[in-house]
Homo-oligomer: A and B are copies of this chain.
Amino acid sequence: MSYCLGIKTSDGIVLASDSRTSAGADQVNTCQKMHSFVIPGERVLVAVTTGNLSLSQSVFTLLRQDFDQGRGLAAAPTFYDAVREVGEKIRRVAELDQEALEKAKLRFNVHFILGGQIKGSEPELYLIYPVGNPIRSTPDSPFLQIGESKYGKPILDRGISYETTPIEQAAKYALLSLDSTMRSNATVGPPVDLMLYRNDTLEVTHRRRFQGHDSDWMELHMRWEQALRKAIHELPEVNYDGPAVSRNL
């Protein structure tokens, strides 16, 4: 498995990804899962991906070929068109590989999150399913997750608000969501890639890769664990004087 997420609040977008890729527990590698397609001042499109690495690499290869020739993601007039472009490439790869995978009892499994902005339209954040169909982040659902998403969901549910969470804070939530997942699940691992996009800048000014031994990462991890323990310690003691569990069935 792997784990990626996108957060969209009122002032920007954050994308983050792990880099663990494995085919079984005895074949563990790392691979960057964040890819950007940028024409500065005109469009910023950043994608993260989970699922079968062979499939996502094929999709990115096709997207990059087009982009480098000024087509596809380089030319899509709206963000929705760009999202559909990713969906089309997924379907192209499905034509190439799905039948053979299913014969081998493997699932055609690949998910994408695409975030960014095209000049003249609003910033957007989408999730694209293996079938190629997309869903969009809205103020009611300000984050999207793909891959091993359960461990890192509670902290996002508790903290992220489209209206009130500054995008710099959202970046911390994204890192903590990934840290929680890596702490609890061995199939998600470093390096962690992070990208922060501020609305209407039309360029990527904030990006960062954290290796597992990165001192900034270690400090975040340790300070967070200390803060959690302190917060729990300061919660009121459990009151056992309320209604009790009945003894039997």
Residues of A within 8 A of B (CB): 32, 34-36, 38, 57, 60-61, 64, 150-155, 157-159, 168-169, 171-173, 175-176, 180-181, 183-185, 193-196, 206-211, 214, 216, 219-220, 223-225, 227-240, 242-249
Contacts and interface: CB of A to CB of B under 8 A. Distances in A.
A227 B230 CA distance: 9
A216 to B, nearest CB: 5
B237 A168 contact: yes
B244 A208 contact: yes
Contacts of A64: 248-249
Contact of A249 (B35, B168, B172): B35
A229 B231 CA distance: 11
Contact of A184 (B153, B168, B234, B248): B153
A97 B227 CA distance: 48
Contact of A208 (B225, B239, B249): B239
A159 B240 contact: no
A232 B172 contact: yes
Contact of A224 (B150, B211, B235): B235
Nearest to A177: B154
B240 A173 contact: no
A239 B185 CA distance: 26
A34 B237 CA distance: 22
A235 B223 contact: yes
A40 to B, nearest CB: 12
B244 A207 contact: yes
B232 A216 contact: no
5 contacts: A64-B249, A153-B184, A158-B228, A196-B240, A216-B242
Contact of A173 (B194, B211, B230, B232): B232
A248 B37 CA distance: 8
Contact of A36 (B228, B232, B247): B247
Contact of A231 (B184, B208, B227, B238): B227
Contacts of A159: 225, 228-229, 232
